[in-house]
Amino acid sequence: MSAELWTEKYRPKTLKEVVNHGEIMSRLKRFVEDKNLPHLLFVGPAGVGKTTTILALAKDLYGPEYMNHILELNASDERGINVIREKVKNFARTAPIQSGVSFKILIMDEADSLTTAAQHALRRTMERYTKTCRFCLIGNYSESIIEPIQSRCAVFRFAHLSENDIRERIKHIAELEHVKLLDTGFNALLEASSGDLRKGINILQTAAAAKGGYVDEEVVLSVLGHVSPKEVREMVLLSLKGRFLEAREILRRLLLEEGLAGEDLVKQIYSEVLRLQIPDVWKVRLSETIGEVDYRLTQGASVEIQLGALLAKFALAGEEMGQSNEARGKSLD
Amino acid sequence: MKPEGSPWTERFRPRTLSDVTGNKEALRELVDWVNSWRARVPQNRAAFLYGPPGVGKTSSVEALANDLGFDLVEVNASDYRTAKRLETILGKASAQTQTLFGTRRMILFDELEGISGQEDRGGIETILIIIKETRSPIILVATGSPEEWGELLDPLMKVSEIIEFRHIPFRDIVQRLKALCREVGVEAEEEVVELIAEKSSGDLRSAINDLEALARGRKALTLKDVYWLGDRDRKGELSEVLRRIFSAKSFREAREAFAESPIGYEELFEWIYENLPYAFDDPHDLAEAMDALSHADVHKKRADKTQEYRLLKYMFNAMTAEVALTRQESKGGGLIQEVRRALLRFGLPPTSLLIQEGGEGLIVKPTRYMGNDWQPLNNLLRGFGGRWLRGEGCWVIPYFRPPGRIDHLRRSWWSRRMLEDLAMKVAAKCHISKRAALREVVPYIRAIFQENEKSGVSVAQWLELDEGTIKWLRGK
C-alpha cells in the first residue's frame, strides 16, 4: 500500500481549484483561454502556492499530458551558468510537440539563487527562444532577479495566505482524511505553520499518523519536537556557557549526520540568538559576527571551521556577559 | 607461485579466495554478487570495493577471477583513463560476454581514487557508460574512503554494489606473518611478529613488506633485530610539530615548526583545528585562535578558487603564527589535563594508576589488578584515543587527538547517503529543491516513521524509496 504525501495529494490540479490569489488567477485564466502567455515571474513567500499555480496552469493549458510540455528546474540545486547553457537551451530551442499550443514552458523554481552570470545567460536565452518556449521564474523576492529579466516578464506578486485561507484548507483536508482535529490541536498547528501552508499540511499528516487520526495539542507539540530538534538551541547555549567542545560535537552531528546545509544552520543559529535573554547590545554584536560568517559561507568557506569559530566567539561573549553580570550582582541563566 | 626473487607481496599473493586473509564478509558479498550473474544480469552491474590500503582488495578480485574461471581485463592508474583510451582498451570486452576461447570476462578498474579530472578527461563518464552496457561483471576498486575522494567517485558508487573492506585484525596479520615465516624457513620470535603486525595498523601488505625487509637472508629473527624498525606514520614527529606550533612565541618559531610537518598542510590544519580547544583553554584565546583558523580557511578557499597558490602562504601564517600568537592566558594543559580530570572523575584511588608523560603520549599504568574496572577504564581511555599495550601492561594516550571531523565523516557517511537519496526522491515528487526537501519535508517523513511505522512505509512506497533507505528510516 502506498500513501501520498498530502501536500501532493491535495495540491490543486487546475487553476479553478486554487482558491486564493483571486486577481492573479483570473488573469492567468485569460492566458489559458487565449492559449498564449508572456514570460512569467512569480514572487512571494514560501508555501503560498507559486509552484502549484504554474503546474495547474500547465495542466489547464496542455491537458493531462502536461508533463510532456514542461521542464521543471530548481535553481537551488543547479545554480550555475552551465545549467542555462545546457539543459535550458536544449529544452528551449526544440520545437514543441503537437499540442495545439505553440510553445513549451520552462519552470525555474527558486530562481533567486541563480548566480548573476547565469541570470544574464538566461536573459539572452529567453529572448532567442520566445517562439518555442515561455519561461516561468519563481522566487521569494523580485529584488534578487536582475532588472533585464524582470522587464521581460509579467510579474505576479503572491501575498501571504491569510490565517483563514490556511484554516479552511487544513479543515478541508482533515475532513477528507477523517482526521479528528481538536480545536487545541488546530490552533497549535496554525501557530506553528506561520503562514506556510505546506508546513501546516505536513504537520497535520504527521500528527494524524501518530495517534490514528486523533490530533490534539499534545500530538502537534510532539510532532514539532521531532521535526525541529532543540539541538541548535542547545549548541548555542552550551557555547555561551563556555562548553565549546560539547557545542562542537553537536555542530558536527548537525552538519554530518542531519545533512543540514551551512546556510540553513546559520539561519537557525541567528534566530536562536535573537530569542536569547541577553542585553540588546550583545544581540547586535553577535548579529555582526553571524553576518560575517554567513557571507564567508557564500564565498565557499568551510562550514564547520567558520561555525566553529562562531561558537568560540559565543563562548567569549558568554564569559564577558557573565563578568558584567557578576559586577552587577546578577547571574546568567 | 611466483619465483623466489620477486617481492614477497607478489610471491605470496593469494591465488584462491580461501588464501585471502580477513574481510570474510566482504568476500562473501562479492562472491554472491558475481554468482548472481549466472541467473541474469543483476541490477547493479558493477561492484565497488573500497577500503584502506593493503587489505587485499585487488588480490581478492584476482583470486576470485581465478577461482570462478573468469578472464580478467584490468585497467589501473598506469593506464591513461581518458574516454578515448578506455574505449580502445576495453573495446568490445564489456559488450561480449566471452573471449574467443569461450571463457567469461570480468573487468577490473583499479586505483580509481587516482583518476584525475584533468588527464583522464571523461574517464568517469565512460566507465558509467561501460557499466550501463556491460554484459560482464565490472569491479571497481578504490583505496581510501568516500570522504577522502570528495564527490569524485559518487556517480560510480551510485550505480554499484558497495562492498567495504576493512583493516585486517591484528590477530589475522600475526597468523599470516607466522605462516610466511614457516614457508620461507625463518624462525621468528612471537614478539617480533607482533611488533610488525602492530606497526602495520591493519595493513597486511606493509606488514609483509616489513617482514621481508627484516627476514631476507636470515634464518632467525629476534626482538633485537627489529627494535629499530621504521615507524611508517611518523606520529612522533607530528606531535612534536603540533606542540611547537601551539607553544610558539614568535612568528618564526611557528613557521619553522610548520616547515617540518611530516603531513600535508590540509591534514595538518585538521589536526590543529581538532586539538586547539585543548591547548587554548582561556575563552579569549580560544575565540581569537579559532578566528585565526577561520582566516586560514578563507585564504585556502581563495587560493583554490583562483588557483593562485601563492595565496596559500597567508593560510599557513594564519594557521600557525596567528594561532600561536593569540595565546595569552591559556594554561594549556591540553588533552593530558582532560584525561587527568576524567580519571579523577572515574573515582579510582589515586595510587591505583601510575600516570607518566612519555615520549609518544601519556602513559597510564595500573599498579594493581583492575578486575571489573578494567573494561570501563579501557573504554574511557579509548575515547581519548588511547591504546592498551599488552606487552607493557599500560595504556598510551597520544598527546594529540586525530581529527574527529574525518572520523565523523566516516561514521556518518551512510546516513548522509541515505538522506541524499531521500531528499532527491522528495524533490522530484514534491516540486521543490533538494535543499528545501531536506529542510522542509524530510524531517516530517522521519517523524512519521517514528510515530507510526506503517504510515511511514506507505509514504516511503509512494516516494519509491529503495529497501535500504526504508530500513535506515526504520532504524532511526
Rounded to two decimals, the ipTM of the complex is 0.78
Amino acid at A217: E
Closest CA to B108 of B154, B56, B72: B72
* Mean pLDDT on B102-131: 77
Report the SS3 class of residue B357: strand
* DSSP state letters, B123-149: HHHHHHHHHHH-SS-EEEEEES-HHHH
Per-residue pLDDT tens over the stretch B348-391: 777 888 888 777 788 888 888 888 888 888 888 888 878 888 77
**CB-CB neighbors (< 8 A) of B439 in chain A:** 260-261, 264
**HEC per residue, B36-68:** HHHHCCCCCCEEEEEECCCCCHHHHHHHHHHHH
Per-residue pLDDT tens over the stretch B69-81: 888 888 776 565 6
A206 touches chain B (CB under 8 A): yes
Answer whether residue A328 shows pLDDT above 50: yes
With beta carbons less than 8 A apart as the criterion, state whether B451 and A210 touch.
yes
* Partner-chain residue, chosen from B290, B408, B461, that has the shortest CB–CB distance to A308: B290
**CB-CB neighbors (< 8 A) of A301 in chain B:** 294, 297-298, 301
pTM of the model: 0.58
Residue A331 pLDDT class (50, 70, 90 cuts) = very low
Contact B451 A226 (CB under 8 A): yes
* Partner-chain residue, chosen from B405, B448, B451, that has the shortest CB–CB distance to A304: B405
Contact B462 A5 (CB under 8 A): yes
**CB-CB neighbors (< 8 A) of A319 in chain B:** 283-284
Contact A252 B434 (CB under 8 A): no
Per-residue pLDDT tens over the stretch B256-277: 888 888 777 888 999 999 999 9
Question: Residue A60 has what pLDDT?
Answer: 93
**CB-CB neighbors (< 8 A) of B461 in chain A:** 1-3
CATH (one of 1.10.1740, 2.60.40, 1.10.8, 1.20.140) for B170-226: 1.10.8
Write down the mean pLDDT value for chain B: 83
Q: Which chain B residue has the Cα nearest residue A7?
A: B430
Q: What is the CATH number of domain B8-164?
A: 3.40.50.300
Residue linked to cell 530569542: A275
**Residue A146: all three cell numbers together:** 536582475
CATH topology of domain A163-227: Helicase, Ruva Protein; domain 3 (1.10.8)
A242 touches chain B (CB under 8 A): yes
* Partner-chain residue, chosen from B416, B440, B448, that has the shortest CB–CB distance to A209: B448
Residue B273 Ramachandran class (φ > 0 left, ψ -120 to 50 alpha, else beta) = alpha
Contact B298 A299 (CB under 8 A): yes
CATH (one of 3.40.50.1100, 3.40.50.300, 3.40.50.1970, 3.60.21.10) for A6-157: 3.40.50.300
**Comparing A9-13, A323-327, B174-178, B199-203, which segment has the lowest mean pLDDT?**
A323-327
Question: Residue B120 has what pLDDT?
Answer: 61
Q: What is the C-alpha separation between A78 and B351, in angstroms, rounded?
A: 63
**CB-CB neighbors (< 8 A) of A3 in chain B:** 455, 458-459, 461-462
**CB-CB neighbors (< 8 A) of A1 in chain B:** 458, 461
Ranges A124-128, B124-128, B204-208, most confident: B204-208
**CB-CB neighbors (< 8 A) of A2 in chain B:** 458-459, 461-462
Q: Domain-by-domain residue ranges, chain B?
A: 8-164, 170-226, 235-325, 334-398, 404-475
Question: Residue A239 has what pLDDT?
Answer: 95
Question: Residue B232 has what pLDDT?
Answer: 41
CATH (one of 3.40.47.10, 3.40.640.10, 1.20.272.10, 3.30.470.20) for A231-321: 1.20.272.10
**CB-CB neighbors (< 8 A) of B277 in chain A:** 244-245, 248, 312
**CB-CB neighbors (< 8 A) of A244 in chain B:** 277, 286
Query: Which residues, 6+ apart, have CB-to-CB distance to B218 below 8 Å?
Result: B186, B225
∠ Cα B437 B441 B447 (to 5°): 140
Q: How many CB pairs under 8 A join A and B?
A: 161
A217-223: long-range contacts at Cβ-Cβ below 8 A with a sequence spacing of 24 or more? Answer: A217/A182, A217/A184, A217/A185, A217/A187, A217/A188, A219/A185, A220/A185, A220/A188, A220/A189, A220/A192, A221/A188, A222/B451, A223/B444, A223/B447, A223/B451
* Partner-chain residue, chosen from A76, A206, A306, that has the shortest CB–CB distance to B294: A306
Closest CA to B27 of B69, B60, B3, B2: B60
Contact A205 B290 (CB under 8 A): no
Per-residue pLDDT tens over the stretch A143-201: 888 888 888 888 999 988 888 889 999 999 999 999 999 999 999 999 888 888 999 99
**CB-CB neighbors (< 8 A) of B450 in chain A:** 226
Shortest Cα–Cα distance, A94 to chain B (Å): 24
Which residues is B98 bridged to in the sheet? B104
Largest CA distance in chain B: 77
Picking from A110, A140, A227, A295 by the largest number of B CB atoms within 10 A of its own CB, the best residue to mutate is A227
Question: Residue B83 has what pLDDT?
Answer: 63
Contact B287 A313 (CB under 8 A): yes
Q: Domain-by-domain residue ranges, chain A?
A: 6-157, 163-227, 231-321
**CB-CB neighbors (< 8 A) of A210 in chain B:** 451-452
Q: Which chain A residue has the Cα nearest residue B442?
A: A227
A287 touches chain B (CB under 8 A): no
Bigger pLDDT: A152 vs A323? A152
Shortest Cα–Cα distance, B456 to chain A (Å): 8
Contact B436 A76 (CB under 8 A): yes
Contact A316 B283 (CB under 8 A): yes
A246 touches chain B (CB under 8 A): no
With beta carbons less than 8 A apart as the criterion, state whether B180 and B86 touch.
no
* Partner-chain residue, chosen from A76, A209, A258, that has the shortest CB–CB distance to B455: A209
Contact B433 A109 (CB under 8 A): yes
Element housing B353 (H / E): strand B353-357
Shortest Cα–Cα distance, A202 to chain B (Å): 7
**CB-CB neighbors (< 8 A) of B298 in chain A:** 296, 299, 301
Q: What is the C-alpha separation between A96 and A108, in angstroms, rounded?
A: 18
With beta carbons less than 8 A apart as the criterion, state whether B47 and B138 touch.
yes
- In A174-210, which positions are buried (b, 16+ CB within 10 angstroms) versus exposed (e)? beeeebebeeebbebbbebbebbbbbbbbbbbbbbbb
**Residue A77: all three cell numbers together:** 540545486
Element housing B87 (H / E): helix B83-90
Answer whether residue B243 shows pLDDT above 50: yes
* Mean pLDDT on B276-304: 92
* Mean pLDDT on B231-255: 77
Q: Which chain B residue has the Cα nearest residue A212?
A: B452
Picking from B291, B327, B432 by the largest number of A CB atoms within 10 A of its own CB, the best residue to mutate is B432
Same fold for the pair B8-164 and B170-226: no
Q: How many CB atoms lie within 10 A of CB A285?
A: 15
Question: Residue B233 has what pLDDT?
Answer: 42
Contact A259 B433 (CB under 8 A): no
* Partner-chain residue, chosen from A74, A242, A293, that has the shortest CB–CB distance to B432: A74
Sheet holding B138-143, edge to edge: B70-75, B104-109, B138-143, B46-51, B160-164
Residue A329 pLDDT class (50, 70, 90 cuts) = very low
Question: Residue B99 has what pLDDT?
Answer: 53
Residue linked to cell 502506498: A2
* Partner-chain residue, chosen from A3, A223, A305, that has the shortest CB–CB distance to B458: A3
**Comparing A232-246, A291-305, B95-109, B125-139, which segment has the lowest mean pLDDT?**
B95-109
Q: What is the DSSP letter of B93?
A: T
Per-residue pLDDT tens over the stretch A65-103: 888 899 998 888 776 677 777 788 888 877 777 767 889
Ranges A303-307, B341-345, B420-424, most confident: A303-307
Q: What is the C-alpha separation between B199 and B177, in angstroms, rounded?
A: 13
Per-residue pLDDT tens over the stretch B24-60: 999 999 999 999 888 888 889 999 999 988 999 999 9
Contact B434 A74 (CB under 8 A): yes
Shortest Cα–Cα distance, B291 to chain A (Å): 5
